[in-house]
């Protein structure tokens, strides 16, 4: 069946055809007509089987025929950008698509948008702020809805969908999922038609490698030429056939070790398949830190590693190099499997266990392994896809075959039922008026996936405990059976922080005085559950112990606060938070990323994620200070700006200029140019001659200083934090002036606002 045979506007049919969408895949033949009928739909289909078009076609049809608004919910920012770019290809039809990924305390400008693409956290934040755009939705598309099982993001997706369904009774819901064992539970919850399919455009063969042979689930076998390194044997075989490989391992260190081991072998093997100049160009854009240098040396050989410790530019360079087939093999942690679309001919899963704090070595779920396996087979490039697990013994071979290859995925279960998770969401329900009593909260929960798949035994006591906590902390109050939100609670809900974070921040600001050391403020920020901790290593102990001795008895929050009320984890949490505070201190004192990553044995992505998290929590701290101790604002305000830019206070006037990051700001300052007035008076040619400035940026700086208001360093902006991000601004300026952008040996970043993948526990 062809797309042209669907009941669609002619303009949409033409646009689909122009984009190469002619014949529908079997899952699309069943799912798209059902969605076009207006019924709710759950489509549980494999990766690369045309899942996105099952959402896109009904969305475009609804916009063109009914003028209705469409909300497209994704789990990750990277996926939001991918979907935005895909939908943007159809904007000549006359609609506007907006990606809403701004700060949770600020509504992105979605006025006039026909389609908004947002993470579930951002969608929930829009609801909490009463954004009028979400009031009259015609369609909500929940992509990767199986993420509802994820303890971090799942509850927010579940709550946001429930709110939207309750508020828009006539709204259509399309939920797109990987193949899961209990998709009927999702369909029952959403009152939706279920389309389930195992069809893929490229055949996927899953199997186990043992003793020089791959045995697949269908009992077929494939011999692998012998090599001393089994992983290299599997990679070499597929690369020699013209394919690419993804290797999944369970730790960052393993990604780097395996990639480094394979690199020289790949260089010799793939030398004739890839232009070395292309690889050199790729490698040249990521040599910014010690980790970047290691990555660059691998990339120059056609191999790369990929994990959350890399910064955004490094990850993007690796992904683009793989798409262009210059990089033949990526060694990654499992986070890549749930991220953007990077299929390969052969996927190798080396590890099916991982280490988890307080649990030791635990098995990876079948669902996660199937997600990795689903990356095998690139439509249009690969005639088939192979997913191979590696066995260490015959017993291990039987275990992998029985418990993974031939096993169905685990049933999706809601993670909404715990008191810790409900704390934030119950506050949100009270703040938005979705509930005003314990019974109202329970009624809301009955309409969630959690309520649809469980009897809610004991939920009343959990609700009561959460409400007691909120009332004790003066975020809400009881009046008879009614519960009323208080100003502190409303502000916490709008800020979209964990209520426990708000409690820590309030305690901290009430203790602040004019001489409170900066490190103690940063430690309080790091102590909140909204900022990811950092495991202290042996190399950190001396510095941490020195700080602990120096500030003993002066910290702004207690160890019990840091442990979330659990004494058993309090000391470990304290030292973890102290390490994060130390990292943030190094950052605002302008220590180089290379020095920080080297001393703390972390990656540049770890710096970015903690900086982004601290940036937001410092903003929340500032807002809490306005309520409880306005004098503390004098301490927090400049610190907020320093964290955001990674500079000493003296550079704040300079980093407020577009195109200037921390390194260029220091260059200008050292040249005697310290503020807007100095730039206005400076000779443009002399400015251009300064390192990493150049004529395009110099001209822009002069214009910003003399002919237009200087960009304000507003608290809700997100300016470049380093020159790799600021280069994007330079590139735009250079294009406007018809000049080449100043060359500084760095790859340009085409999305300076993109954060690290794990920028916060809640990823906006």
Six-digit token string for 761: 């526990």
Q: What's the pLDDT tens digit per position in 392-430?
A: 999 999 999 999 999 999 999 999 999 999 999 999 999
| 546 pLDDT tier (thresholds 50, 70, 90) | very high
| 191 pLDDT tier (thresholds 50, 70, 90) | very high
Q: Are strands 97-100 and 172-177 parallel, antiparallel or unpaired?
A: unpaired
The whole-angstrom separation of Cα 42 and Cα 183 is 8
Q: What is the pLDDT at residue 733?
A: 34
| 484 pLDDT tier (thresholds 50, 70, 90) | very high
Q: What is the pLDDT at residue 562?
A: 74
Same fold, 419-495 and 649-720+722-737: no
| 639 pLDDT tier (thresholds 50, 70, 90) | very high
H or E stretch at 41 = strand 41-44
Pick the CATH number of 499-645 from 1.25.40.10, 3.30.43.10, 3.40.50.720, 1.10.3380.30: 1.10.3380.30
Mean pLDDT of 617-622: 96
| 273 pLDDT tier (thresholds 50, 70, 90) | low
Strand locations in 402-502, DSSP E? Answer: 476-479, 482-485
* 319 and 243 Cβ atoms separated by less than 8 Å: no
Q: Give the strands of the sheet with 115-119, arranged side by side.
A: 97-100, 115-119, 69-74, 137-142, 172-177, 41-44, 193-196
The lowest-confidence range among 343-347, 381-385, 479-483, 678-682 is 381-385
* pLDDT at residue 739 is higher than 50: no
Mean pLDDT of 455-480: 95
| 271 pLDDT tier (thresholds 50, 70, 90) | low
Q: What's the pLDDT tens digit per position in 239-251?
A: 999 999 999 999 8
Q: What's the pLDDT tens digit per position in 56-99?
A: 999 999 999 999 999 999 988 878 888 999 999 999 999 999 99
CATH (residue range 203-405):
3.40.50.300
* pLDDT at residue 289 is higher than 80: no
Rounded to two decimals, what is the model's pTM? 0.86
Mean pLDDT of 259-263: 96
Q: What's the pLDDT tens digit per position in 98-144?
A: 998 766 666 667 888 999 999 999 999 999 999 999 988 999 999 99
* pLDDT at residue 724 is higher than 60: no
Domain ranges of the chain: 3-196, 203-405, 419-495, 499-645, 649-720+722-737
* 318 and 216 Cβ atoms separated by less than 8 Å: no
Compute the chain's Rg from CA coordinates.
Answer: 27
* pLDDT at residue 230 is higher than 80: yes
The whole-angstrom separation of Cα 652 and Cα 717 is 14
The CATH homologous superfamily for domain 3-196 is P-loop containing nucleotide triphosphate hydrolases (3.40.50.300)
The whole-angstrom separation of Cα 570 and Cα 583 is 20
Q: What's the pLDDT tens digit per position in 310-352?
A: 888 888 889 999 998 999 999 999 877 665 678 899 999 999 9
Q: What's the pLDDT tens digit per position in 148-162?
A: 999 989 999 999 999
Q: Which span out of 357-371, 506-520, 704-718 was modeled with the highest average pLDDT?
A: 506-520
Q: Are strands 353-356 and 360-363 parallel, antiparallel or unpaired?
A: antiparallel
* pLDDT at residue 279 is higher than 60: yes
Question: Would residue 714 be called left, alpha or beta, if left means φ above 0 and alpha means ψ between -120 and 50 degrees?
Answer: beta
Q: What is the pLDDT at residue 446?
A: 96
What is the architecture of the domain spanning 649-720+722-737?
Orthogonal Bundle (1.10)
The lowest-confidence range among 314-328, 457-471, 557-571 is 557-571
Q: Are strands 213-216 and 221-223 parallel, antiparallel or unpaired?
A: antiparallel
Q: What's the pLDDT tens digit per position in 641-678?
A: 899 899 999 999 999 999 898 999 999 999 999 999 99
Q: Apex CA 191: angle with CA 142 and CA 134, to 5°?
A: 45
* pLDDT at residue 30 is higher than 50: yes
Q: Report the percent of the chain where pLDDT is more than 90.
A: 68
Strand locations in 664-758, DSSP E? Answer: none
User: Domain 419-495 belongs to what topology?
Assistant: Arc Repressor Mutant, subunit A (1.10.10)
Strand locations in 288-435, DSSP E? Answer: 303-306, 329-332, 346-349, 353-356, 360-363, 384-390
């Amino acid at each position: 069946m062809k797309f042209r045979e669907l009941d669609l506007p002619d303009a949409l049919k033409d646009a689909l055809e122009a984009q190469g969408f002619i014949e529908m895949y079997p899952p699309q033949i069943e799912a798209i007509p059902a969605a076009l009928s207006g019924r709710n739909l759950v489509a549980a289909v494999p990766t690369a089987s045309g899942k996105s078009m099952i959402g896109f076609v009904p969305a475009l049809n609804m916009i063109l025929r009914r003028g209705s608004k469409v909300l497209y919910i994704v789990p990750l920012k990277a996926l939001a950008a991918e979907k935005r770019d895909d939908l943007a290809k159809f904007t000549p039809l006359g609609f506007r698509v907006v990606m809403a990924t701004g700060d949770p305390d600020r509504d992105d400008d979605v006025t006039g948008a026909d389609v908004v693409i947002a993470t579930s956290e951002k969608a929930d934040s829009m609801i909490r702020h009463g954004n009028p755009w979400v009031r009259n939705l015609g369609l909500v598309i929940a992509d990767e809805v199986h993420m509802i099982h994820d303890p971090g993001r799942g509850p927010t997706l579940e709550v946001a969908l429930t709110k939207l369904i309750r508020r828009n009774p006539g709204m259509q819901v399309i939920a797109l999922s990987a193949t899961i064992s209990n998709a009927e539970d999702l369909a029952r919850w959403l009152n939706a038609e279920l389309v389930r399919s195992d069809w893929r455009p490229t055949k996927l063969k899953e199997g186990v490698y043992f003793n020089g042979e791959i045995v697949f689930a269908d009992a077929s076998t494939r011999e692998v030429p012998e090599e001393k390194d089994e992983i290299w044997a599997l990679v070499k075989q597929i690369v020699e056939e013209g394919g690419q490989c993804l290797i999944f391992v369970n730790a960052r260190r393993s990604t780097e070790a395996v990639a480094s081991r394979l690199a020289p072998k790949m260089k010799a093997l793939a030398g004739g398949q890839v232009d070395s100049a292309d690889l050199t160009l790729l490698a040249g854009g990521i040599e910014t830190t010690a980790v970047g240098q290691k990555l660059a040396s691998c990339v120059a050989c056609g191999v790369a590693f990929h994990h959350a410790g890399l910064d955004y530019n490094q990850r993007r360079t690796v992904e683009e190099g793989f798409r262009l087939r210059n990089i033949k093999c990526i060694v990654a942690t499992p986070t890549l499997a749930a991220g953007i679309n990077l299929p390969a001919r052969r996927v190798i899963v080396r590890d099916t266990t991982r280490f988890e704090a307080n649990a030791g070595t635990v098995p990876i779920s079948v669902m996660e392994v199937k997600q990795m396996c689903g990356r095998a087979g690139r439509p249009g490039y690969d005639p088939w896809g192979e997913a191979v697990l590696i066995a260490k013994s015959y017993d291990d071979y039987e275990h992998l075959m029985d418990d993974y290859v031939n096993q169905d995925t685990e049933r999706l279960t809601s993670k909404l039922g715990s008191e810790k998770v409900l704390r934030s969401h119950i506050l949100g329900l009270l703040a938005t008026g979705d509930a005003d009593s314990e019974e109202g909260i329970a009624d809301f929960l009955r309409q969630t996936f959690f309520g649809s798949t469980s009897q809610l035994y004991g939920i009343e006591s959990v609700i009561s405990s959460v409400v007691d906590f909120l009332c004790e902390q003066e975020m809400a109050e009881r009046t008879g059976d009614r519960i009323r939100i208080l100003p502190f609670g409303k502000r916490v809900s709008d800020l979209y922080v964990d209520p426990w974070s708000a409690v820590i921040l309030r305690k901290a600001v009430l203790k602040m005085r004019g001489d409170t050391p900066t490190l103690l403020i940063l430690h309080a920020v790091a102590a909140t559950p909204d900022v990811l901790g950092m495991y202290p290593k042996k190399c950190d102990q001396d510095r941490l112990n020195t700080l602990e001795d120096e500030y003993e008895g002066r910290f702004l929050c207690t160890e019990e606060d840091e442990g979330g009320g659990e004494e058993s984890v309090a000391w470990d949490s304290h030292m973890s938070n102290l390490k994060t505070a130390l990292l943030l201190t190094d950052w605002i004192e302008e220590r180089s990323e290379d020095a920080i990553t080297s001393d703390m044995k972390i990656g540049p992505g770890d710096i970015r994620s903690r900086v982004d998290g601290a940036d937001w929590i410092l903003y929340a701290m500032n807002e809490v200070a306005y309520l409880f101790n306005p004098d503390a604002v004098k301490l927090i305000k400049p610190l907020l700006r320093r964290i955001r830019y990674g500079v000493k206070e003296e550079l704040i006037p300079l980093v407020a200029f577009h195109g200037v990051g921390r390194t260029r700001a220091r260059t200008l300052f050292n040249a005697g140019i310290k503020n807007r007035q100095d730039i206005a008076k400076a000779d443009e040619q002399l400015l251009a001659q300064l390192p990493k400035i150049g004529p395009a940026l110099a001209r822009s700086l002069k214009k910003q200083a003399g002919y237009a208001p200087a960009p304000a360093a507003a608290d809700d902006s997100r300016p470049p934090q380093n020159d790799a991000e600021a280069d994007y601004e330079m590139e735009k300026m250079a294009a406007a002036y018809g000049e080449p952008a100043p060359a500084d040996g760095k790859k340009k970043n085409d999305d300076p606002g993109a954060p690290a993948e794990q920028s916060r526990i809640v990823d906006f």
